[in-house]
């Protein structure tokens, strides 16, 4: 899939933890593609209705949070205790305002709560019970733990425990198995940029572990030059401030979005750990990037009034 330029639109990812082609049945692949299409159409609809880039990014992510296919919201991974905790963040490139939550357990749409932190408080990040409490106060939609439970993620937890002798935070030797995140970036008619990211984290993660998804500059960043949402092995994305690094390369070195994203994913990260992850990004001119160094990444893009384009495997 080529990376075009769009005047306004949305670019999404559903994580780099894709099933290998030999395990991806035609029915499951069709389900993934349809879910990606629905996410893109939701973001596009927000733009067509006069919404902002942030509106579009959040609406796209909410669709994926509601799908049991992705490791976010309803399809989130279980930690070592068998409990689902979720993280999310948003950032508005026009103002540099941002919001994030970590360790929430009963908020149906963590990305919506992250936006609420940004817009309704003076803070940037809330965690755990305090974050869920804000959701209740602000009247956001809540859900019981059973809503987030999926048999597939429960099986992933059991497999992780068997593979590593119950040692948490590790799932086999393939870095792509340590990922699974959803995200969206958008550019609106005014040229404003925004990014949003949401995740359930690693299967069998240590109780209390937080990855890059709610960390501004690591998993999410939006500024005047570009908006970025990441997916992958979170600890490496935090150490390298990956999302912000893309923006910094464009700002300080004057390179293109493609050069910046490839320099980070296929350069810096690839040297540290092969298959670390990927990202989607959009710049101030509408150029987009869907970059990854894994066998695949659930991904897609749509112009504001165009048709969705989605992909799973192939080069990134």
Q: Which residues participate in catalysis according to the annotation?
A: 181
Which is it for the CA torsion 42, 295, 237, 88, positive or negative? positive
For 21, counting Cβ atoms within 10 Å of its Cβ (0-12 exposed, 13-18 middle, 19+ buried), the class is exposed
The tokens of 286 are what?
A: 């509408």
Q: Contact, 254 vs 274, CB < 8 A?
A: no
Beta-sheet pairing, 97-104 with 125-127: parallel
**Who contacts 214 (Cβ-Cβ below 8 Å, separation ≥6)?**
87, 88, 89, 100, 101, 102, 114, 125, 197, 220
Distance CA 19, CA 33 (A): 13
Phi-psi region of 169 (alpha: psi -120 to 50; beta: other; left: phi over 0): left
């Amino acid at each position: 899939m080529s990376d075009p330029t769009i005047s306004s639109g949305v670019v999404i990812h559903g994580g780099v933890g894709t099933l290998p082609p030999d395990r991806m049945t035609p029915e499951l692949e069709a389900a993934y593609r349809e879910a990606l299409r629905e996410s893109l159409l939701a973001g596009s609809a927000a733009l067509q209705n006069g919404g902002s880039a942030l509106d579009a990014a959040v609406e796209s992510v909410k669709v994926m949070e509601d799908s049991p296919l992705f490791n976010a919201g309803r399809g989130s991974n279980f930690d070592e205790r068998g409990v689902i905790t979720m993280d999310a963040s948003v950032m508005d490139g026009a103002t540099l305002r941002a919001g994030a939550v970590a360790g929430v357990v009963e908020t149906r749409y963590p990305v919506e709560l992250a936006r609420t932190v940004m817009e309704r408080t003076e803070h940037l990040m809330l965690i755990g019970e305090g974050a869920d409490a804000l959701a209740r106060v602000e009247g956001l939609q809540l859900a019981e733990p059973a809503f987030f439970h999926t048999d597939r993620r429960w099986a992933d937890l059991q497999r992780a425990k068997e593979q590593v002798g119950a040692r948490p935070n590790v799932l086999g030797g393939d870095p792509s198995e340590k990922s699974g995140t959803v995200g969206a970036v958008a550019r609106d008619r005014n040229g404003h940029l925004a990014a949003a990211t949401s995740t359930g984290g690693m299967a069998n993660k240590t109780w209390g572990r937080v990855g890059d998804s709610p960390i501004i500059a690591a998993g999410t960043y939006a500024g005047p030059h570009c908006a970025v949402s990441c997916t992958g092995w979170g600890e490496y994305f935090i150490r390298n401030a990956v999302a912000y690094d893309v923006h910094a390369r464009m700002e300080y070195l004057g390179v293109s979005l493609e050069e910046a994203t490839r320099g980070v994913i296929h350069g810096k990260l690839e040297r540290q750990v092969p298959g670390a992850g990927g990202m989607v990004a959009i710049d101030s001119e509408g150029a987009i990037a869907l970059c990854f160094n894994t066998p695949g990444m659930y991904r897609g893009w749509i112009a504001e009034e165009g048709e969705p384009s989605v992909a799973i495997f192939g080069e990134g």
